[in-house]
Homo-oligomer: A and B are copies of this chain.
């Protein structure tokens, strides 16, 4: 997995395979370029390994940067750096809160002795950055209200606890926890304090009792297109289109497939908003996009291996997510809450729980998930391996049959051994029936 040949994070890989007989000097230059790209694209594995021997605070910075990017499923410190740049472009105070959140979430994970690998991948930081950012975004006390750092630190440090608890549940179905800890903790803080709190007032969110008249002639196509990067920016609570733009760049660096699905998801959200006659202001503000962005990335190549069926599934999921987003926003506004990324979590979990008969929709085991390009390589390798194994098995079986004929002529004393073997096989088959991920067969089979 450390071979640069397996790690070509750009779409040029296709091209690379298509021209196997080029002059060697050009090929060598190309290979060198690919190797160079592989150093800062994908999950920057080489850099991560190099970091392991560095000073602890440097390592921590690496983890925090990766945590910042992990919100978008990107395990890349360079992307994290660009994302922080985007946040500073939006608002200094928010960026500071985000940084504090990521830092303390990571420290808390270290104190609780969580898996060092997961911490190093930023998997304990991404909820922290969202908690920090969104608590600042939804605070009604204005910027630079320093007291806010107290609940911010407390909630960030709760992140690994809630993450670990949710992982204990979700792991039964081999599902990730997504941003559920962030959703839980930010909603907790907001509803525990509320708009009228004296210490930590929240912005006032009220249910809409009437919708403004929508006149299609008033639509602003430029703003509509701008809502696509804004939607990507809203993943981090930012409404600045330039911030959204830098986020797109940070995605492209790590994984072009992720980047493409992010843009597709944001567009799907915008279209859904128009279809369900949402107020134009909400659509321009990117509120219909950010959940779809995340859902589309998660399904489109991240947790499923990307085939065109999965691509269609990802787009369906984005539309479903937009519908769900509208529903959850309406419900949560009754409690003065924003919808956070609940719609993304619920829709993506639903689509990941799906079981189908087709092999073209392949859900990767959670332990093998890296980034879309590498996932795809893993899927292809697995398919090749399966073919090879099948051929081997067939040959073996024919040999076994011959041996069995021989064995039948042998002594009766061996019989008991055979029975034990059969029992083992039976037990294995029983186990296979109990294997998770394939439950629908015997569930749906009733009344057949």
Contact = CB atoms under 8 A, between A and B. Distances in A.
Contacts of A444: 114-115, 117-118, 121, 123, 167
Contacts of A442: 171, 366-367
Interface in A363-377: 366-371
A164 B445 contact: no
Contact of A448 (B117, B189, B448): B117
A187 interface: yes
B117 A445 contact: yes
A193 interface: yes
A437 to B, nearest CB: 7
A142 interface: no
B367 A171 contact: no
Contacts of A213: 198
Given A164-B354, A188-B324, A370-B447, A277 B198 contact: yes
A340 to B, nearest CB: 14
A165 B353 contact: yes
A260 B52 CA distance: 44
B276 A115 contact: no
A356 B176 contact: no
A184 to B, nearest CB: 9
How many monomers of this chain does the complex have? 3
A113 interface: yes
A162 interface: yes
A112 interface: yes
Contact of A351 (B161, B209, B275, B327): B161
Interface string A305-322: 000000000001001100
Interface in A245-299: 275-277
**Which has the most chain B C-beta neighbours within 10 Å: A70, A189, A371?**
A189
Contact of A439 (B114, B168, B334, B335): B168
A165 B34 CA distance: 40
Interface in A166-223: 166-174, 176, 187-189, 191-194, 196-200, 208-211, 213-214
Interface residues on A, range: 35 or more
Contacts of A188: 323-324, 327
A61 to B, nearest CB: 18
Given A165-B354, A168-B439, A448-B117, A197 B276 contact: yes
Contacts of A417: 416-417, 420
Given A169-B173, A331-B335, 4 more contacts: A188-B323, A196-B209, A416-B417, A427-B428
18 contacts: A115-B445, A118-B445, A161-B316, A164-B355, A169-B173, A176-B443, A176-B446, A189-B323, A189-B327, A191-B327, A192-B330, A194-B330, A198-B214, A331-B335, A369-B446, A369-B447, A423-B424, A427-B427
Interface of A: 43, 70, 75, 112-115, 117-118, 120-121, 123, 154, 158, 161-162, 164-174, 176, 187-189, 191-194, 196-200, 208-211, 213-214, 275-277, 316, 319-320, 323-324, 326-327, 330-331, 334-335, 349-358, 366-371, 416-417, 420-421, 423-424, 427-428, 430-431, 436-437, 439-448
